[in-house]
Amino acid sequence: MEAQVLQILQFIFDQFGAWNAVWGIIQPAWPVIWTLLKIVAIVAPIMIGVAYLTLAERKILAWMQVRIGPNRVGYWGVLQPLADGVKLLFKELIVPIRANKYLFAFAPVLVLAPALAAWAVVPFENGMVLANVNAGLLFILAMTSLGVYGVIIAGWASNSKYAFLGALRSAAQMVSYELPMGFALVCVLMAAQSMNLTDIVNGQQGNAGFLNWYLIPLFPMFVIYLISGVAETNRAPFDLAEGESEIVAGFHVEYSGMGFALFFLGEYANMILIAGLTSLFFLGGWLNPFHGLGIIGAYTDMIPGMLWLLSKMVFILFLFLWFRATFPRYRYDQLMRLGWKILIPFTLLWVIVVAAWMQTPYWVWSSVQG
Binding residues for another protein, total number by CB under 8 A: 28
Out of 79, 88, 117, 172, name the contact with another protein by CB under 8 A. 172
Cα dihedral 87/270/212/220 (nearest 10): -120
Q: Which is nearer to another protein, 144 or 279 (CB)?
A: 144
Q: Tell me the closest approach of the beta carbon of residue 187 to another protein, in angstroms.
A: 16
d(CA 212, CA 226): 20
Q: Which is nearer to another protein, 172 or 296 (CB)?
A: 172
d(CA 278, CA 223): 10
Give exposure, 237-263, as e/b (b: 16+ Cβ within 10 Å).
bbbbbbbeeebbbbbbbbbeebbbbbb
**Options 138-146, 295-303, 345-353, 355-363: segment touching another protein (CB under 8 A):** 138-146
Under rule CB under 8 A, residue 133 binds another protein: yes
Under rule CB under 8 A, residue 29 binds another protein: no
Out of 6, 47, 78, 175, name the contact with another protein by CB under 8 A. 175
Under rule CB under 8 A, residue 346 binds another protein: no
Under rule CB under 8 A, residue 148 binds another protein: yes
d(CA 33, CA 46): 20
Out of 37, 334, 345, 356, name the contact with another protein by CB under 8 A. 334
Under rule CB under 8 A, residue 35 binds another protein: no
Under rule CB under 8 A, residue 225 binds another protein: no
Under rule CB under 8 A, residue 104 binds another protein: no
Out of 112, 113, 118, 152, name the contact with another protein by CB under 8 A. 152
Residue 246 near residue 288 (C-beta atoms within 8 A): no
Residue 231 near residue 323 (C-beta atoms within 8 A): no
Under rule CB under 8 A, residue 120 binds another protein: no
Under rule CB under 8 A, residue 190 binds another protein: no
Q: Which is nearer to another protein, 135 or 298 (CB)?
A: 135
Under rule CB under 8 A, residue 73 binds another protein: no
d(CA 134, CA 348): 24
Beta bridge mates, 31: none
Q: Which is nearer to another protein, 22 or 141 (CB)?
A: 141
Beta bridge mates, 125: 128
In the complex, the residues that contact another protein under the rule CB under 8 A are 103, 133-135, 138-139, 141-142, 145-146, 148-149, 152-153, 156, 164, 167-168, 171-172, 174-175, 178, 195, 331, 333-334, 337
